[in-house]
Chains A and B, each alone.
Chain A
Amino acid sequence: MTVDFLAAKLNLEPVCCPNPQKEVTGAYIGDLLSWVMGRAKAGDAWLTIMSNINIVAVAALADTALIILTEGVTVDEKTAETALSKGVNIFTSQEPAYETAVKISQLL
Chain B
Amino acid sequence: MGEPLVFTYNVDGGDFTSAGQASVMVKKNLSQIGFSPEVIRRVSIAMYEGEINMVIHADGGVATVQVNDDCIEIILADKGPGIADVEKAMQEGFSTAPDEVRGLGFGAGMGLPNMKRYTDEMSIDSTVGVGTTITMKVNF
Measuring CB to CB, which residues of chain B are less than 8 angstroms from any residue of chain A? Answer: 16-17, 19-21, 23-24, 27, 37-38, 41, 44-45, 48-49, 52, 104-106, 108-111, 113-114, 117-118
Given contacts A34-B110, A35-B110, A37-B110, contact A61 B48 (CB under 8 A): yes
**Contact for B49 among A34, A56, A60, CB less than 8 A:** A34
Q: How far is the CB of A70 from chain B (nearest CB, A)?
A: 15
Q: Are the CB atoms of A42 and B41 closer together than 8 Å?
A: yes
A-side contacts of B106, CB under 8 Å: 32-34, 54
- Closest residue of chain A to B105, judged by CB? A33
Q: How large is the interface on A (under 10, 10 to 19, 20 to 34, 35 or more residues)?
A: 20 to 34
Q: Are A31 and B105 in touch, CB under 8 angstroms?
A: yes
Given A37-B49, A61-B24, A63-B41, check contact A54 B114 (CB 8 Å).
no
A34-B110, A35-B110, A37-B114 given; A54·B20 CB < 8 A: yes
A contact residues around B109 at 8 Å (CB):
34
